Structure formats: C-alpha cells, structure tokens
Amino acid sequence: MAKKGMSRRQFMKAGLLTAAAAALGPGVLKPTGLWAAETKIKGPVKVGYQTVMSGTLAGYGEFHKMGAQMAVEEINAAGGIGGVKLEMELRDSTLKAPDAIQNARYFVDSWGADFLAGVDSSGQALALAPVMAELDRVLMVTHAATEKLTEEHVFKNGVRQVFRMVTPTYQDGYAAAIVAKDLPIKTWATISPKYEYGFTCWEMFKSTLAALRPDVTFTAESWAPFGTTDFRSHINTIMDAKPEGLYSVEWAGELITMVKQGQQAGLFKQVKEVMLPVGAAMDVLEGLGQELPDNIWVSGRYYFLYPTNQANNDWVGRFHKRWQHYPAYVSEAAYSTMYAFKKAVEAAGSKDTKAVIGALEGMSLDTPAGTRVFRKEDHQAMYDVPWGLTKSDPKYPFKIMGKQVVVPALACFARPPFDGPASKPPFKS
Amino acid sequence: MLESIVHVCLAGLSGGMFIWLVASGLTLIFGVLGVLNFAHGSFYMLGAYLCFSVLRALGQNFWWGLLLGPLVVAAVGYLVERFFLRRVYGLELPYQLLLTFAFVLLFDDLVKILWGAGSLGAPGAPGLTDSVPILGRQFPVYNLFVIAVGPLVAVGLWALLEKTWAGRIIRASSSDREMASALGVKVPALFTAVFVFGSWLGALGGGLAVPYLGLLTPGMGEQVIIEAFVVAVIGGLGSLKGAFLGALLIGLLSAFGTRFLPAFDMFLTFILMAGVLLWRPQGFFGEKR
C-alpha cells in the first residue's frame, strides 16, 4: 500500500515537472545534456547587471530588470546553472562613464561577480571595454549600440571579454538604407541626436543608400542635443528643406516628443516616407499609442511580435503575465543574456572566463528574438529584426507592424576585414 | 523663409514663456526669502504628475488637473517650508542648498515609487488640441495659449506686488526683515505664504507642461530647473522683471540658434550667460549686493 502511494506521488511529481517544462516552452528547456559538468562549477553563478535607473530614462532600467529577473527566476526554478544557483545584483549605471567603471569594479572586486551585463550608453561601453580586459570578466552588452565597441575593442584591440547581445548601429543605418532603396523617393533629411550615435547612423544610412541609389540626395540635417524637449525649430528646418523622406534615430522619450510635435506641425503630411530605426521600441509604441502615424517605417533591436513562432509567443505571454507589460527590446536582451551565460557555463563546465569566452564564441542560442549566433570575429550576436510599416490593431492599445521587410543580419552586419567578399555587402564604409 | 522665421519666433516665444512660468516662482522665493530653492524643479515635476493623475481620474479632463494638481503641490510646499526650511533660515547658505537638494532626491524617488520609472504619455488639453495654419504652416493652439498665459502671470504678479496691500508687505519684508517684524508684520507666516505661492507657480508650470511635452518622465524637473536658473541669473536673481525678459531672450535665442546657427545652438545661451556675468554680474535688473 505504502509503496503504491509513494510511486503515485513520484508519478505526480514527474507529471508536474513535465507540465512545468511544457509551460516554460522549448526555448527555455532545451536540454543541453551537460549535467556531467555539474561538479566542476563551484558556488553560485553571480551576474552583476548595470543599467540606468534614475533620471528621464529610468524606465529603460525597469525594462532591463523585468527581463533579467524573470530569467533568473526561471533558471533557478529549473535547477539553476549546471546545478548551482544563479544570482544577480542590479546597480544604477546613471549613463555616466565613470559610474559604469565604478560599478564594474564594485561588482568584481567587492561582490565577486562572475559575469557582468547591461550598459545602455555607448560612451559607457567604450570606457568599460579596456576595464573588462583588466578585470578579466565577460561583459554582455544589452543596449549600447556603437559598432566601435565590437569593431575596435573586440576585433582590433583583442578585448575578448566583451560580447553584445543586441543589434548595433548596422541595423539602424545599413538595414534602413537597404529598406529605403526600394522606396520611390529621391530626397532624405534627418533630425537625429547630436552625439556619436546620431552622426554614425546617419553616415551609415547615407553612404549605403548613395551607393545603392545614385539618384538620391540628402537635403538637410538637424541635430538635437541630449535632453531636447522642444523640436519645433528642428521640424522647421526639415519643413523648409522639403525632403520627401525623414530618417530619425531619435529614441525613447525624445522620439515620442518629436513625433507628437511633428504631428502638430503637419510634418508627417508633408513628407512621404518616415524611417524610425528605434520606433518599434515598446516605450515608444506605448507612449505614442494612437498618435503614432500609420504607414511609417519602424524597427528596433527586438520586436515583440517577431519571430511569429511558438517560442516567442509563449515568452511574450509569460512576460505579460509576470509584469502586465509587453516586453521591451532591452527586456528580451536581458532575459536572453542570462540564458547565454547558462548555456556557455554549462558547455564550458566552469565559470572560468577563458573557458566561457571559448564557449560563447560561435555559440548559437535559441532566444525569444530567434536564434542568435555570437560571431567569432567581433563577438556580435547575429539575429534578424524586421522593419515594418505601422498600423492599428484592435488587439493592442498601440500601433504594431503591418507589412514587414526583413534585412537579414548576414546581409548588413559584416564590417572590418572579416575574411571573404561577403564581408563587404553593398555598403561602402 | 518668412514662414520659417515666424514659426521659429513662435516656438521661441512658447519655449520662453514656459521657462518663465518655472523661473517666476524660483525668483519670487529667492527675492523674498533669500533661499535658492533647488527643489523648485521637483515642484514642477510633482505638478505635472499630479495634474496627470487628476486628469486621468476625472475622465481625461486636463483643466481639472491643472486646477487641482498645483493646489496639492502648494500643500506640499507648505509642509516643506513650515517644518524644514524654516529651521535653516538662520544658518549659512550651504545648509539651505543641502536641504533643498535633499528634497530633490526624495521627490525623485517618490515619483518613481508612485508613478513608476517609465515615461507616461499624456493627452492634449480639451479644446486646444488642434493646430492652426499660420502662413501655411501648422502651429498648435495650445502653444499660442502658453504664449498668452506667460504675460498674464507676469501682469498678475506685478499687480499683486505693486498694487495690493499684501504686495507692499511682501516688498517691505523682503527689503528689511527686522524692521517689518518690528512694525508688526508676522514675517514667518508671510514667508510661508510666499513659499507656498512660489511652489504653486512651479507646479502650475508643470501642469501646463503636461500637454506641451505630451510626456512625463521622472527626471523632467532637473532639465527645466537648469534653464530656470540660467534665466534667473541673466535677469538678476530676485528680479521678476529680469526673469521675464531673460526667459524671452533665452527662448528666442535657442529657437533661432537651432534653426539658423545649428552649429552653435548649445553655446548661445551659455555665451549669453557668461557675457552677462562678466559685464553685469548682478544681471539685467538685479541689485548689487
């Protein structure tokens, strides 16, 4: 009798586990079959995560946190990393480079971090790279987009400790140009941030589009300093130049303000095509709601309805259930980062930096955004994010992508002299 | 070109009036109490968030938000002055700065706790959401409204200070605290009243910012307070007339700079401020201290 009861209980346990595994979805419970490595990994795996948690962009920090925390909860509920617990500590990066370095040193020297992750600003990422070589810990960048991080620090200077989970400026500049080449207009202008990120993206967009479409000209540029709240003079600059197309890498709250003020000034009635490389960010979609015009091109570093497969749908569902929010691209990147560490540590069988770098290089990882491959040369994660035309949908209180165009990462992400002719797609750098 | 000049001018005027609304309360408090209130930007932010909450609670009616939001902030201002600031009037300036800065940090976190860290999209003001064509280009009616409200507040403040009995007492106390007190003016109560009124003005600016920016973020107070300080310095600390003209100048200068001298747009305001500090350190209308 007793035996029978026991076995039934065990049967129930097994059933529950299976159900839990099914609920977690295939992306999560991909058996890596590396339980043998379990014994080598000592103590918890500690991840020091830094993101902006104060000031006007504090909302981004919240979005990072949602993704990262959810992954930590899931991974620990499913047995941790190679049998040991995953721990995370979160610190405010404040967007200032000295604070980013201080955080990194605190994480490694005082808290005992095995891995670092996060970082929103490109300036911070560039300042951190040499520090990571010195601290000898892997840093997974989940937001900063400058191509110089991976091209110069990783590829040229050989800082092997730095990896990037999200699409870099290539997506905002090159992919945009490849979409723009098929649009029936000949003049483009920009309102973009008056710092490195804005200048680089516009340069990439211009050089590629000019090579693909010699008949196109670029008629005006207006640069808005960080913290701009009044875009009316910038909008007048553009309306005076009368371009057919507007390209803008304004992002977050400033993009929301620019679109609202552009609407009021009739900007979107005057231009025929609009391209917003980070317009599909969740804070922008939600912040603008129905005020985002229809039929403008938007993209992001992850878009919550792409890819349209079971794994992504399940993840978005679980995320919404956990946080009553749709995932932002930084949430997806933070979430996937934890799984990248899990997979690499289990493959390496240890937390040792060198071994983990070896495992991460060329590693392919199933994530909500699709399969990512960490390119060996520059440690950039290769995955596709669509460009799409905005439209209303009764299911959502904000605009979503209607018609979509996917420019594969393989078609526009290569740069430096990574071997072979494929390293030089249509663009000229 | 002409339409661009007119529209940039309008943008500069509305931007300038905005800074004026914030700078007026800051200047008034400094002029009467002699306190540089860092937390004024927080009152602006609280005004915006409370206006937003009221308008959401009362069926998207912005006007109720604008009426009630700043009143709540005025009550907060009362508590800050009555129970904290009053204790440091006798101390040196750094203590006052430290105290008001502490409130900046407190209110920043309070906003994050109550409303979340993310940005909130705000609706327009009922009746003023349209744009009107001016020389063939659209300009939002709401901005015209802000351009009108600025001078109204200026005239109201002038009338209050120059034409009423209360204004005379305020001016008397600000020029000689001890004498006013000896003549029977209840200076502490008067200071409280002025501080409450100044907080209300800051919050009014915040409330008016809700449809103007269309977006609320936890750091919004810090951005605006810097411009308000620049304006107050240029105009002369404590001078309302100076703050009004300084705000107009800064608004127009930055709008025209952005459109016609884009390479220097960030410098212009600070060059102006540096120039004023060099040639007339007390500001346009400031008194030599």
| pLDDT of the residue at B49 | 97
A297-298/A387-391 β-pairing: antiparallel
Measured in degrees and rounded to the nearest 5, phi and psi for residue B132 equal -115, 145
pLDDT band at B6 (very low <50, low <70, confident <90, very high): very high
Q: Compare CB distances from B121 to A54, A256, A264 and report the shortest one's residue.
A: A256
CATH code (residue A272): 3.40.50.2300
Locate B21 and state its tokens: 């609304």
Element (H, E) at A50: strand A45-51
Q: Are residues A179 and A150 in the same domain?
A: no
Integer-rounded Cα radius of gyration of chain B: 19
Cβ contact B117–A288 (<8 Å) = no
Neighbours of B93 (CB within 10 A): 11
**Are A174 and A121 in the same domain?**
no
Strand-pairing partners, residue A374, are A381
Residues A48 and A126 in one domain: yes
Task: Taking residues B220-240, report their average pLDDT.
Answer: 88
Q: What is the pLDDT of residue A30?
A: 45
Quick check: helix, strand or coil at residue A384?
A: coil
pLDDT > 90 fraction of chain A, expressed in percent and rounded: 84
Domain stops at, among A382, A400, A415: A382
Place of tokens 């409280």: B192
Domain that holds residue B143: 2-279
Same domain membership, residue A95 and residue A209: no
Q: How far is CA A312 from CA A168, A286, A315, A335, A363, in A?
A: 21, 20, 5, 12, 20
Residues in chain B whose beta carbon is closer than 8 A to a beta carbon of chain A? Answer: 1, 4, 7-8, 10-12, 14-15, 108, 112, 116-121, 131, 137-140, 213-215, 217-220, 222-223, 254-256, 258-259, 262, 265-266
Domain count, chain B: 1
Q: pLDDT at residue A31 above 50? A: no
Other C-beta atoms lying within 10 Å of the C-beta of residue A119: 31
pLDDT-derived band of residue A4, with 50, 70 and 90 as boundaries?
very low
pLDDT tens per residue across span A149-168: 999 999 999 999 999 999 99
Domain identity same for A280 and A188: yes
Tell me the CA distances in angstroms from A189 to A186, A235, A247, one per residue in order.
11, 11, 6
Whether residue A174 has pLDDT greater than 70? yes
In contact, B17 and B149? CB cutoff 8 Å:
yes
In a domain, A140, yes or no: yes
On the question of pLDDT at A2 being above 50, the answer is no
> Domain boundary at A382, A402, A417, which?
A382
Same domain (yes/no): A245, A277: yes
A424 domain residue, yes or no: no
What contacts A410, CB < 8 A, 6 or more positions away? A382, A422
Shortest distance between the Cα of A167 and any Cα of chain B, in A, equals: 23
What percent of chain A is helix, strand and coil (3-state, nearest 5)? 50, 15, 35
In a domain, A415, yes or no: no
Choose one of A279, A300, A321: the last residue of a domain: A300
Same domain for A180 and A98: no
| One domain for residues A228 and A184 | yes
Find out whether B269 and B254 touch, Cβ atoms under 8 Å: yes
Q: Please state the domain count of chain A.
A: 2
Q: Which domain holds residue A230?
A: 170-300
Tokens matching residue A385? 């994010």
Work out the pLDDT band at A172, boundaries 50, 70, 90: very high
Asked whether residue B284 is domain-assigned, the answer is no
DSSP string of A154-179? IIIT--TTEEE-S--HHIIIIIHHHH
Helix H or strand E segment including A273: strand A273-276
Nearest to B119 among A222, A225, A283 (CB): A283
Which residue in A229, A264, A291 is closest to B213 by CB distance? A229
By C-alpha distance, which of A107, A109, A110 is closest to A119? A107
Summarised one tens digit per residue, pLDDT across range A322-333 is 999 999 999 999
CATH assignment at residue B21: 1.10.3470
| CB-count exposure of residue B131 (10 Å: 0-12, 13-18, 19+) | middle
Whether the CB-CB separation of A111 and A89 falls below 8 Å is answered with yes
Q: What integer is the mean pLDDT of B7-29?
A: 94
Is residue A233's pLDDT more than 90?
yes
Which positions in chain B touch A271 (Cβ < 8 Å)?
none
- Tokens read off for A426: 């249509």
Q: Is residue B287 part of a domain?
A: no
In the chain, the amino acid numbered B112 is K
Tens of pLDDT, residue by residue over A194-206, are: 999 999 999 999 9
Of residues A40 and A412, the one with the higher pLDDT is A412
CA neighbor of B209 nearest in space, from B8, B43, B36: B43
Q: Is residue A273 part of a domain?
A: yes
SS3 of chain B: CHHHHHHHHHHHHHHHHHHHHHHHHHHHHHHHHCCCCCCHHHHHHHHHHHHHHHHHHCCCCHHHHHHHHHHHHHHHHHHHHHHCHHHHCCCCHHHHHHHHHHHHHHHHHHHHHHHCCCCEECCCCCCCCCEEEECCEEEEHHHHHHHHHHHHHHHHHHHHHHHCHHHHHHHHHHHCHHHHHHCCCCHHHHHHHHHHHHHHHHHHHHHHHHHHHCEECCCHHHHHHHHHHHHHHHHCCCCHHHHHHHHHHHHHHHHHHHHHCHHHHHHHHHHHHHHHHHHCCCCCCCCCC
Q: Could you tell me if A218 and A281 lie in one domain? A: yes
SS3 at position A377: coil
Q: Residue A6: what pLDDT?
A: 45
Q: Is residue A270 part of a domain?
A: yes
Q: Do A138 and A112 reside in the same domain of the chain?
A: yes
State the pLDDT at residue B283.
Answer: 86
pLDDT of residue A280: 97
Supply the mean pLDDT for chain A.
90
**Which of A334-348, A393-407, B192-206, B215-229 has the weakest average pLDDT?**
B215-229
**pLDDT at position B238, please?**
85
- Residue A422, exposed/middle/buried by CB under 10 A (0-12, 13-18, 19+)? exposed
Confidence label for B43 from pLDDT (cuts 50, 70 and 90): very high
Residue A249 lies in a domain: yes
Helices (DSSP H) in A191-295: which residue ranges?
Answer: 196-212, 232-241, 252-265, 267-270, 282-288
B266 domain residue, yes or no: yes
Distance from CA of B60 to the nearest CA of A (A): 15
Report the pLDDT averaged over residues A40-63. Answer: 93
Q: Which residue of A has its CA nearest to B15?
A: A230
- Are A51 and A86 in a shared domain? yes
Q: Are A168 and A264 in contact (CB under 8 A)?
A: no
Q: Place A29 in a pLDDT band, splitting at 50, 70 and 90.
A: very low
Name the residue with higher pLDDT: B244 or A17: B244
Q: How far is A253 from chain B (nearest CA, A)?
A: 7
Is A353 inside a domain boundary? yes
Q: How far is CA A272 from the centre of its chain?
A: 29
d(C-alpha B193, C-alpha B139), whole Å: 38
Q: Please state, as a whole number, how many other Cβ atoms lie within 10 Å of the Cβ of residue A393.
A: 12
Does some domain include residue A402?
no
* Residue B83 to residue B195: CA distance in whole angstroms: 12
Which one of B4, B119, B131 has the shortest CB-CB distance to A240? B4
User: Reading across the β-sheet that carries A364-367, which strands appear in turn?
Assistant: A364-367, A370-374, A381-382
Backbone angles phi, psi at A194, to 5 degrees: -85, 55
Cis peptide preceding A307, ω within 30 of 0: yes
Cα separations in angstroms, B58 against B66, B111, B228: 12, 20, 31
Asked if residue A212 and residue A142 are part of one domain, the reply reads: no
Per-residue tokens: B162:
């120059």
